[in-house]
Amino acid sequence: MKQTINEIPLNKELHDVLRQLGIKDVNPAYSTGLAWGGQGSGTTREIYSPADGNLIASVSMASREDYDHVVQTAQEAFKVWRKVPAPKRGEVVRQIGLKLREHKEALGKLVSYEMGKILQEGLGEVQEMIDICDFAVGLSRQLHGYTMHSERPQHRMYEQYHPLGIVGIISAFNFPVAVWSWNAMLAGVCGDVMIWKPSEKTPLAAVACQHIIREVLAENEVPEGVFNVIIGDAEIGSLMSHDNRVALVSATGSTRMGKKVGEAVGARLGKSLLELGGNNAIIITESADIDMAIPAVVFGAVGTCGQRCTSTRRLIIHENIYDQVKDRLARIYANLPIGHPLNSTTLVGPLIDKAAVDAFRDALDKVQQEGGQLIVGGEVLEGRGYETGTYVTPAIVEADNNYATVQEETFAPILYLIKYSGDIENAIDIQNGVRQGLSSAIFSTNLLETEAFLSHRGSDCGIANVNIGTSGAEIGGAFGGEKETGGGRESGSDAWRVYMRRQTNTINYSREMPLAQGIRFDIMD
């Protein structure tokens, strides 16, 4: 592997970044938008960068009392915010987008350093936030319902949408800020108020976002409690999931976590939006343009060190081109630049922590015990610049789709090569033969193959791409998947509807009282 030594001096640079983002004190446990405060539970969590192991911050963890205070503040804010016209709410979001543009470089560096994704991906994540702000601004003037014809004379029927109330947002470490913005900006223009619980592994980027938007909120006299951040462990997420005051819980993370959230929210008949695990595959058919396919496969498999929910985990290759694709990938993997995420030559940064490294090694051990053949990678890097123990060499393994390890999502850079023979239906059966259903892709220049992949008998995933990879979705389309991915949809298209409650209205403008279905109900006065 081509390795890049971690020699970037970061102490002063990080200090400058934090100052640019307005962060001086990161100890308080929560923020209600205009005032950063909270007593915390008395416990703190130290945040270390997976890039070099340096201590970034010590952050107080919220208590149950802190949580209750945030919820009460949000409840009061909702009474005011829901009355603000949607285009006015959109104007606030527009200004938030402008602030994010001002701080894109600084916030992108912080995301990269705290989470470990390379700088290009950190900057891309902030751009995603900017893009969803733009989308939400337009949406603020298009929260439309429908009109219907009534069967009764001089009656009018229509549907309209109203804000839900409090939206709880539980986000994961791999996208520390973007997924929050998908939810918060859309929910914000819909008239909801938000309580964001970021991952306890990457809280500082969330603190930074709150500082960035504070000035906008103050200038627009947005009530305290519309945009809230609360930093805590799994207990806070559990409180949110069980809380009848929280109308919608949007949770991004593992399927295991999502099942707990869904069960808790469902038990109280609340609403949930679940965007959970993926076991994503790319099919490469015999007619594929391999020169196009290879870069998409590599980015999908090793981008964010394999820690995206849309990461490519399985590569289903036609037997006639299998060896050619395998050999090309092995050569590329042997020369991947692995190193500090802020180094401009790096393509693969670290895993988030040593627990992720242990999961990586454990999966490789298990799949080989099942019969898989390790082609390249699978090492934990040591020595100068890699003292953190969080850097690994991305692995390629020849495997069978039915292996138990292949059936599971390992949040690490492991790519399973799976050979198929015969026609495209065989490849699609393999693609669909897992419990997850997030993202999928096919590389083919054969129209019959691509249309079969996109048909009702094709990919069973929420995302199905042709001649592009599984990773790197645009915000204009609804994002989410089926089966154990949870069925939720975030970001673009009509995903905004989940943040609102639907209401059907019928207006009688006659002087009579006819009933529907021609029912007669005569009473004597």
Spatial distance between the Cα atoms of 317 and 417, rounded to a whole number of angstroms: 7
Q: What is the pLDDT of residue 10?
A: 64
Structure token pair of residue 315: 């590569």
- Alpha-carbon span 199 to 411, nearest angstrom: 15
Residue found under tokens 């994961």:
172
Residues 377-393 have a mean pLDDT of: 95
- Identify the pLDDT of residue 6: 55
Closest-CA residue to 434 (of 471, 470, 459, 466): 459
Q: How far is CA 200 from CA 26, 45, 110, 115, 123, in A?
A: 13, 8, 15, 11, 21
The pLDDT, as a whole number, for residue 41 is 61
What is the pLDDT averaged over residues 249-261?
Answer: 97
Between 11 and 175, where is the model more confident? Answer: 175
Tell me the average pLDDT across 255-284: 97
Q: Model confidence over 449-485: pLDDT tens digits? A: 999 999 999 999 999 999 999 998 899 999 999 999 9
* pLDDT given at position 396: 98
How far, in Å, are 12, 116, 185, 337, 338 from residue 387 at the CA level? 21, 15, 39, 17, 14
> Which residue intervals of 166-254 are DSSP H helices?
178-190, 203-219, 234-242
DSSP class of 24: S
Determine the residue type at 509.
Y
Q: Which residue type does 76 have? A: E
The Cα 454–Cα 422 span in angstroms is 19
pLDDT in tens, 18-69: 788 877 766 667 676 655 555 666 688 889 999 999 888 888 899 999 999 9
pLDDT, the chain, mean: 94
The whole-number average pLDDT for the span 63-77 is 95
Residues forming CATH 3.40.309.10 domain(s) in the chain: 280-476
CA distance between the termini of the chain: 91
- Could you report the per-residue pLDDT of 134-149, keeping only the tens digit for each? 999 999 999 999 999 9
Higher pLDDT, 125 or 38: 125
What is the average per-residue pLDDT within 200-205?
94
Q: How far apart are alpha carbons 224 and 210 in whole angstroms?
A: 12
How crowded is residue 99: how many other Cβ atoms within 10 Å of its Cβ? 19
pLDDT at 518 over 60: yes
75 vs 61, 71, 257, CA distance in Å? Answer: 22, 6, 26
Contacts of 180 (CB under 8 A, 6+ apart): 169, 171, 196, 198, 206, 209
What lies within 8 Å, CB to CB, of 238 at 6+ separation is 260, 264
Residue type, 155: H
Q: What per-residue confidence (pLDDT) applies to 245?
A: 98
Residue 17: the pLDDT is 83
The DSSP 8-state label assigned to residue 348 in this structure reads B
Q: What is the mean pLDDT of residues 252-269?
A: 97
Task: Return the pLDDT at 19.
Answer: 80
Q: How far is Cα 380 from Cα 314, in angstroms, rounded to an integer? A: 22
Mean pLDDT of 362-371: 98
Amino acid in the structure at residue 306: G
**Superfamily assignment of 280-476 in CATH?**
Aldehyde Dehydrogenase; Chain A, domain 2 (3.40.309.10)
Tokens encoding 476: 């204009």
In whole angstroms, give the CA distance from residue 270 to residue 39: 29
**Separation of alpha carbons 250 and 186, rounded Å:** 12
Question: Three-state SS for 420?
Answer: strand
Please give the pLDDT value at position 258.
Answer: 97
Contact 496, 137 (CB under 8 A): no
User: Rounded CA gap, 393 and 406, in Å?
Assistant: 19
Q: Indicate the pairing of strand 147-149 with strand 155-163.
A: antiparallel
Options 3.40.605.10, 3.90.1150.10, 3.40.190.170, 3.40.920.10; CATH for 9-276+487-502 is 3.40.605.10
pLDDT exceeds cutoff 60 at 402:
yes
**How far is the CA of 422 from the CAs of 250, 253, 320, 426, 516, in angstroms?**
41, 36, 10, 7, 57
**Kind of pairing between the strands at 439-443 and 280-284:** parallel
pLDDT value at residue 14: 76
Q: Give catalytic residues, as residue numbers.
A: 275, 309
Whether 4 shows a pLDDT value over 70: the answer reads no
Q: Considering the chain, what percentage of its residues have pLDDT values greater than 90?
A: 88
445 and 288 Cβ atoms separated by less than 8 Å: yes
- pLDDT at 493 (0 to 100): 96
- Percent helix, percent strand, percent coil in the chain, to nearest 5: 40, 20, 40
pTM for this prediction? 0.95
Across the range 263-276, mean pLDDT stands at 98
Start-end of H helices in 376-438: 404-407, 424-432
Summarised one tens digit per residue, pLDDT across range 135-191 is 999 999 999 999 999 999 999 999 999 999 999 999 999 999 999 999 999 999 999
- Between 32 and 514, name the one with better pLDDT: 514
- Which residues face 132 on adjacent strands? none
